[in-house]
Structure 1
């Protein structure tokens, strides 16, 4: 049976037996490195987790050549998945500070023989022409040469408002899935006859903007739905025929997304640094919480010329600092908005997660985390000279961060008088309770002095279940029925920072624009 046939922990002489999960822990050597050798059969599926922060994990071939970065040293997501490209020996190389502790968990390997298969339908005029050419005995080479020249996805306008968009992959053996994009559940690509053309077509608004990856030959596992869903990460990678990437090209195709922007996608004019705009400052602090029993990085942004105590000062609290200092260039966005006079002077407090695991515990409604914000973080921020009354303070975030923002305002409207929620996870509820717990809390609560900006993407609708698009609309309706001021926007987008980097500015202008 193909197996993780002898995962050797170098220096310790430990071996993994066939089909077994393995746990490794220890310290990196004096050069800040450690290696684990693996033997795979082609198509073997392996998943794992590297909880150790600031430790990087790469997959190399037997000769030590880089194949793929599995976990970046500063990554928020520290789980990984991979499919072995060939029968061979491989190395897992850990890197970090000399002597740093690490913990690594490898799940049991699922061989190719234990994985499963599916199909879809033809809409694209160009693919129908290709189908006819294939039936006449022609090959697909001319089609792929055309796609290479024009770039993918294949875009075929229908009318002034919509276009057919076809995502393509060349040469998979068993399946291809779309990771991200307009499909809610990792849409499957179909194979065109017995050719090397895999495709899935969507009718999309011409205002669409989204990031996506394609995943060929995803392992089909006999496992729980969550495990099967995560398996797509083993092969998800940038579209090789799409030259546009987001946020920037990584060390390999697994490290970045491909970018789709149709011709009517709204402009995102505030993201790039402008030579005539003075830049603000960003300071990084480590903040220890007694209430939560952990510590995290907190970044303080001050716009150029910021004057503590000035009458018009505004303040932004923002979760997921790592993403909002990287994929979303928040300081640059604020610099540009303030310089253009679109918003008043606004400082910002960007709050990191204590760990990837802590994010899922703290950001969904958590009374201790709300206390941390109100009783520990806010007084400390005020001592740093960043302060504004509730009416000029906004708390913001995306996904769980949007949910956390609304909950913080519910618990502490005397501090957070404005909420900016980007694709908030309002479907959430505690275990054993019905969905939309926070919406019911607002129903029970008296009206509070809080204003809201809520947004969601068309491609975040649920597929037979409650999704972000629908639950955001429901919260909007509940809040308006209670008498709250609510600004609500919907975008032709998915659940990704590509859209949020533009709509953060839109939300701030909606709440405080001049």
Structure 2
């Protein structure tokens, strides 16, 4: 179908929507009693052995829930500690995420009741003096006072060379073993290139993954185009995931193209249904890679994937060029866009157009109260238009690369794995 971008100028942020339910905060009395009944040195030695955050049985007795307690070892200068698990907060009441201090100790704590399949990154921000007295200025300032969690060895790479972000995964959360290097697994090669776009008038790095062992004569490689490439490789090391999935026979050997986003402003401009960026992906990036790699021309074996605005862009690229991209993997897609008149513009265009030969694999987090309604509406729109092969999933998490990496693995297997069929013709 022919799709042109709507007028520019909408606000560069999602809609401001109140949290639909309170943050499920609780107090873990077991931790409070331990902190009050032990010397500080004993308590923190125990915490170091266990690792943070601490998890314990649900205070309501439900086997599928747990209480999760975040901790901070304060100093005499500590005035406040803000803990922010991804999307487990109420923007209207940031004070609800302030830790309490166990009286007479250096133990600061904050607990939340979560289902045992929850996983998330989180931030810790510590006020040790020097902040503004004005309440309106205080909260933005406090969020700049980030600290690492010294008792949590688990962290995820930060965005745009930022510091690693600590993370938590409860016992029922999806595993991450597919992201670890395994002895004996053949490793593909990753190279970095500079690719110029005449359509966009700019140049960017593109990471290119080629499977181990090269390509057999006459074979054609399926293709993954994964947006925000600088985060996925080298940040998260997606090449290791691809190596493992190929070695396990869950996906065929494939090529992956990972174009970087050129900073927040350029990313917003290019990844809000810009036909030039969609043209770059379909008409410049794929031909560039195909000049020296035997890439398939079959759209049913070509996946475009992205997260947040990248998820919106992946869907937009496929509906503008279904002859190039026959598979969409959109995670927490910003399908609310634009914020204001014409909201959920891409969903409206899909609803008003004939069914296309494109397979959609959508996923969103249960904690994403802003993105979730628009993702569900796109799901329902696809069903109404006859996209019977579309897949939609919700996971217990937020707007979070920790969750997206799991969904990326599952989505690639759904779209490219053994026995997968191509999209139904429109």
**TM-score interval for Structure 1 and Structure 2 normalised by the shorter chain:** 0.7 to 0.9
Find the partner of 1:235 among 145, 149, 172.
Answer: 145
Q: Which has the higher helix share?
A: 2
Contact kept, 8 Å, 1:312 with 1:344, in 2: the verdict is: no
Q: How many pairs does the alignment contain?
A: 380
1:263-318 Cα shifts (integer Å, max 9, x gaps): 22222232122332222222222111111111101222211234388456311111
Which of residues 160, 163, 180 in structure 1 aligns to 2:63?
A: 160
Secondary structure of the residue aligned to 2:67 is strand
Tell me if the contact between 1:168 and 1:199 (Cα under 8 Å) persists in the aligned partners.
Answer: yes
1:298 aligns with 2:206: yes
**Matched ranges for 1:71-150 at <5 A:** 122-127=26-31, 129=33, 133=36, 143-150=43-50
Distance 1:305 1:473, change over 3 A: same
Partners in 1 of 2:323 and 2:193 — Cα distance?
25
Q: Where does the alignment leave 5 or more consecutive residues of structure 2 unmatched?
A: 1-22, 419-426
Query: Are 2:166 and 1:261 equivalent residues in the alignment?
Result: no
TM-score scaled by structure 2?
A: 0.80
Q: Is the 8 A contact 1:315 1:387 kept in 2?
A: yes
**Following the alignment from structure 2 to structure 1, what is the Cα–Cα distance between the partners of residues 242 and 334?**
25
- Give the deviation of 1:323 after TM superposition: 0.8
Deviations 1:325-371 (A, max 9, x none): 13332222112212221112211111112344211211121122112
- What is the match of residue 179 of structure 1? 84
Corresponding residue for residue 201 of structure 1? 111
* 1:404 maps to 2:313: yes
**Is 1:502 the equivalent of 2:403?**
no
Unpaired runs of 5+ in structure 1? Answer: 1-118
**1:349 alignment partner, SS class:** strand
Q: C-alpha deviations, 1:142-196, integer Å up to 9, x for none?
A: 5445434422212112233110112122336433222344514466224246554
- Specify the SS of the correspondent of 2:330: strand
Name which one, 1 or 2, has greater alpha-carbon Rg: 1
Q: 1:24-63 to 2 correspondence within 5 Å?
A: none
Moved more, 165-174 or 271-280: 165-174
Relative CO higher for 1 or 2, CA cutoff 8 Å, sep ≥ 6? 2
Displacement of 1:509 in angstroms is: 0.6
Q: Contact 1:192 / 1:199 at 8 angstroms: preserved in 2?
A: yes
For residues 103-160 of structure 1, give each alpha carbon's deviation from its aligned partner in whole angstroms, at most 9, with x where no partner exists.
xxxxxxxxxxxxxxxx9975313145369x58xxx98665445434422212112233
Distance 1:329 1:139 in 2: 42
Q: Structure 1 pair 198/453, CA: closer, same or farther in 2 (3 Å)?
A: same
Contact 1:457 1:495 in 2 (8 A): yes
Do the aligned partners of 2:80 and 2:127 also contact (CA within 8 Å) in 1?
A: yes
Q: Secondary structure at the match of 2:354?
A: coil
Q: 1:151 to 1:285 in 2, by over 3 A?
A: closer
Change (3 A) 1:407 1:149: same
8 Å CA contact retained: 2:26, 2:113: no
SS of the residue corresponding to residue 501 of structure 1 reads helix
| Larger strand proportion of the pair | 1
The alpha-carbon distance between structure 1 residues 309 and 394, as it changes in their structure 2 partners (threshold 3 A), is farther
| Map 1:108-507 → 2, pairs under 5 A | 122-127=26-31, 129=33, 133=36, 143-158=43-58, 159-171=62-74, 173-184=78-89, 185=91, 188-192=97-101, 194-195=103-104, 196-217=106-127, 219=131, 231-247=141-157, 255-307=163-215, 310=218, 313-385=221-293, 386-429=295-338, 432-460=340-368, 462=369, 467-484=370-387, 485-507=389-411
**SS of the residue aligned with 1:375?**
helix
- Residue 376 of structure 1 aligns to a residue whose secondary structure is helix
Write the deviation string for residues 371-427 of structure 1: whole angstroms up to 9, x where unpaired: 222232222222232333111110001121111101111211111100011222222
Q: For the Cα contact (< 8 Å) 1:306–1:345, is it kept in 2?
A: no
Deviation at residue 212 of structure 1 after TM alignment: 1.6
CA RMSD of aligned residues (A): 3.0
User: How far did residue 220 of structure 1 move?
Assistant: 6.1
How far apart, in 2, do the equivalents of 1:273 and 1:240 lie?
A: 25
Partner of 2:19: none
Relative to structure 1, is the Cα distance of residues 286 and 121 closer, same or farther in structure 2, using a 3 angstrom cutoff?
closer
What is the TM-score of this pair, normalised by structure 1? 0.67
The separation in 2 between residues aligned to 1:306 and 1:120, in whole angstroms, is: 51
In structure 2, distance between residues paired with 1:390 and 1:291? 22
- CA contact 1:315–1:388 (8 Å) conserved in 2: no
Q: Name the SS for the 1:255 alignment partner.
A: coil
